[in-house]
């Protein structure tokens, strides 16, 4: 059972990226209003960016938060040079994530927010997962949960939520990865999450077409006829409000957005271009279908600007605020 006043926990991510800078920036923006969070990371890496208070338990974060950044200190056994990713950092990066998941599963934290990681240094150190999303799914796979299990990736702004049936694969492989079963799975997880974590009593899903003009009756491709529309029909048969495939080029303007609560998109740029056009700095990556709440900023480690004092914390601030709202809904806070 998670205490309603439990804090969020935030894993520091890659310490050589912009993570330390944006974590400190997020604390400055939220220290008066919350939500309170505790950082899982190396306090010495964070100290140059502002006041830090080492704490021994997430429960102590709230008392410290107004005056200093609370840090659950877990040292990194290698030097850190801004902009220089290093496989020697991998053990600490993964330990911070692992600990955050444990705190959430034990009810000592309300949600996990993850600062960005870079895949290449982790791969060099033997990390075998495509990214955060798949790793978190593995860490939580043995924990029971209500509703269908993900992971499903959602990108969210105040005005738009989009989920993906395929993520980081070449465009040439998208069709081979699509199936009625996969699209239905994404729709089920999304509908359940919209109710449990976003407060929609009767969520409305819009199905994006894959082909121009949503295939134009099969004249410009048959994926809508053979995969997407049958999946939408199957979702409706389950009681989930889901449209048939709609032309993606008319799905994201303001009037269209008023008619749904989330879009099921089918490849990376189909989902991310509208999100980043509407809110380039404030988009949030949300993992649906896990037994814990998890959000992340919708950007990478920023090695090219690390250490220059120019990184913006907007997306991390949005991720923390959204995690707090989702956790309140999931855990019954008022």
Q: What is the mean pLDDT of the chain?
A: 96
Residue 333 confidence (pLDDT) = 60
Tell me: the pLDDT tens digits for 255-295?
Answer: 999 999 999 999 999 999 999 999 999 999 999 999 999 99
**Cα separation of 271 and 161, whole Å?**
9
The CATH T-level fold of domain 1-145+294-334 is Isopropylmalate Dehydrogenase (3.40.718)
Residue 128 has pLDDT above 50, yes or no: yes
Residue 80's pLDDT band, with cuts at 50, 70 and 90, is very high
End-to-end alpha carbon distance in the chain: 16
Q: Is there a common fold for 1-145+294-334 and 147-289?
A: yes
Q: Across residues 71-89, what is the average pLDDT?
A: 96
Identify the band that residue 2 occupies on the pLDDT scale cut at 50, 70 and 90.
confident
Cα distance between residue 245 and residue 321, in whole Å: 32
CATH class of the domain whose range is 147-289: alpha beta
Q: Collect all residues with Cβ–Cβ distance below 8 Å to 212 and sequence separation of at least 6.
A: 220, 221, 247, 249
What average pLDDT does range 92-110 have in this prediction? Answer: 97
What's the mean pLDDT in 161-176? Answer: 95
Per-residue model confidence (pLDDT) at position 102:
97
What per-residue confidence (pLDDT) applies to 5?
A: 79
Under 8 Å between Cβ of 287 and 294: yes
Domain ranges, ordered by start, for the chain: 1-145+294-334, 147-289
**Is residue 143's pLDDT more than 50?**
yes
Q: Could you read off the pLDDT of 55-68 as tens digits, one per residue? A: 999 999 999 999 99
Question: Which residue reads 């495509």 in tokens?
Answer: 130
The size of the chain, in residues, is 334
């Amino acid at each position: 059972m998670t205490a309603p006043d439990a804090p969020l926990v935030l894993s520091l991510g890659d310490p050589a990226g912009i993570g330390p800078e944006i974590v400190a920036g997020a604390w400055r923006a939220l220290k008066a209003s919350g939500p309170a969070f505790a950082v899982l990371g190396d306090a010495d890496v964070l100290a140059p960016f502002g006041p830090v208070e080492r704490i021994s338990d997430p429960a102590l974060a709230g008392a410290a938060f107004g005056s200093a950044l609370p840090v659950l200190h877990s040292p990194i056994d290698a030097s850190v040079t801004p902009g220089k990713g290093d496989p020697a950092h991998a053990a600490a990066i993964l330990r911070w994530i692992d600990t955050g998941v444990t705190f959430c599963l034990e009810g000592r934290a309300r949600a996990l927010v993850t600062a960005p990681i870079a895949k290449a240094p982790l791969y060099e150190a033997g990390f075998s997962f495509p990214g955060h999303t798949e790793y978190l799914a593995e860490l939580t796979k043995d924990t029971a949960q209500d509703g269908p299990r993900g992971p499903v990736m959602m990108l969210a702004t105040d005005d738009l939520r989009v989920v993906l049936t395929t993520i980081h694969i070449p465009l040439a492989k998208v069709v081979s990865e699509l199936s009625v079963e996969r699209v239905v799975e994404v729709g089920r997880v999304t509908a359940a999450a919209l109710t449990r974590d976003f407060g929609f009593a009767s969520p409305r899903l819009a199905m994006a077409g894959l082909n121009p003009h949503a295939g134009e009756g099969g004249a410009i491709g048959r994926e809508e006829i053979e995969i997407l529309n049958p999946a939408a029909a199957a979702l409706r048969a389950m009681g989930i409000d889901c449209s048939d495939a709609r032309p993606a080029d008319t799905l994201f303007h303001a009037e269209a957005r008023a008619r749904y609560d989330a879009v099921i998109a089918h490849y990376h740029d189909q989902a991310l271009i509208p999100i980043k056009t509407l809110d380039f700095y404030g988009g949030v990556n949300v993992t649906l279908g896990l037994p814990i709440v998890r959000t992340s900023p919708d950007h990478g480690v920023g090695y090219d600007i690390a250490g220059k004092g120019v990184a913006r914390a907007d997306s991390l601030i949005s991720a923390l605020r959204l995690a707090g709202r989702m956790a309140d809904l999931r855990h019954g806070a008022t």
